[in-house]
A = this chain, B = another copy of it.
Amino acid sequence: MSKTNPGNFFEDFFVGQLIRHATPRTVTTGDVALYTALYGTRFAVQSSDALAWGLGYDQAPVDDLLVFHIVFGKTVPEISLNAVANLGYAGGRFLAPVYPGDTLSAVSEVIGKKENSNGKTGVVYVRSTGYKADGTEVLDYVRWVMVNKRDPQSPAPEALVPELPAVIDPMALGNAVPMLETEYWDNDLAGSPYRFADYAKGEKIDHVDGMTVEDAEHMMATRLYQNTAKVHFNQYTEGKGRFGTRLIYGGHVISLARSLSFNGLGSAFHIAGINGGRHVAPLFAGDTVFAWSEVLDTAEIEGRPDIGALRLRLVATKNRPCADFPLKDDVGNYAENVILDFDYWAILPK
């Protein structure tokens, strides 16, 4: 019997199952530097210990998406090694600031399961939680993946599709942000004259700039997250596959788009919640990513006079500038070259 991990198939999951994932990971300033080198992120709170400390943090917190990718990466060997597709995200909450030196681990709970009508695959819903060595929860989110059945003849289990929130209640946001001394917020250093009150529902922002992705970059990123999904790394196999080339980790696209969004959303310094997300089309090396945002909603957070929340749709495209805010066509299909439709809550200072 082989000692290698074959990954789990649809039949291996059961609702209520708890999975403790491997390889706890101490996050360091080395990871932060690599994250900066990979995406060019410029949000001031995550970039400067001095500025973060002045506002009320212990030091510069680790970028929210770096935390997300690390926690996500841990779940791959058990959840999505045999996944056909990563279908969606919901109910993501960032619960505590993560600092260099913190060690992150992940557990997942299977919360739903439904066989597809073709009998060959099924959808598995899991809630994954990232926590520090002292037990502090830093992130939880739900994702659902399409997984191959080991045996197409195996009987379909009773379908259980969890009810998922369409949007995180604003009351639940902001736990990862200490009460800010906003009198020390400095628009010049933050790179934006606009704060919470300057954004209005319905506003659209073209982030203008484009970023081309190389194979070396997305592979280094994905390995940094200890994400082992095979399709990102193996040209020998992928070259013979559907696309003829390695597929870029969807989270890499989210981070690129988020980084591009600094141009127009410079004070939206924190991702507090992930309402939903869909990887609409694949990205490959050589493609250039563009992004635009729409303010879907604005919200006050009770007990937080220092900050407010914007619900943002972040759309990424490949090889298509976003001056015309591409999203869907007349019949509701995603427009050509749209690759990401991501719905999240950002925190801004008042």
Contact = CB atoms under 8 A, between A and B. Distances in A.
Interface of A: 2-5, 20-26, 28-34, 36-44, 47-51, 60, 77, 100-101, 103, 105, 133, 188-192, 194, 198, 205-212, 214-217, 219-224, 226-228, 230, 233-237, 246, 263-266, 286, 288, 290, 319, 321
Nearest to A261: B4
A187 to B, nearest CB: 9
Given A3-B205, A234-B212, A32 B42 contact: no
In the complex, the count of this chain's copies comes to: 3
B32 A28 contact: yes
B42 A22 contact: yes
Contact of A236 (B47, B190, B227, B288): B288
Contact of A189 (B2, B20, B209, B265): B20
B233 A212 contact: yes
A33 B30 contact: yes
Contacts of A205: 2-4
Nearest to A36: B224
Nearest to A208: B4
A5 to B, nearest CB: 6
Contacts of A214: 214-216, 219
15 contacts: A3-B192, A4-B206, A23-B43, A24-B44, A25-B47, A29-B30, A31-B33, A31-B36, A33-B33, A40-B223, A209-B228, A209-B230, A212-B215, A214-B214, A236-B290
A128 to B, nearest CB: 14
Given A40-B223, A209-B234, A223-B39, A194 B30 contact: no
A49 B22 contact: no
B23 A33 contact: no
User: Would you list the 9 A-B pairs with minimal beta carbon distance, nearest first?
Assistant: A30-B33, A22-B191, A40-B223, A236-B288, A28-B29, A50-B133, A216-B216, A24-B48, A30-B30
Given A3-B198, A210-B236, 11 more contacts: A2-B264, A5-B264, A21-B188, A23-B191, A24-B50, A37-B223, A38-B220, A40-B222, A41-B226, A48-B105, A217-B220
A307 B253 CA distance: 43
A228 B26 CA distance: 30
Contacts of A101: 49
A33 B37 contact: no
Contacts of A224: 33, 36-37
Contacts of A49: 26, 101, 103
A294 to B, nearest CB: 13
Contacts of A192: 3, 22
Contacts of A28: 29-30, 32-33
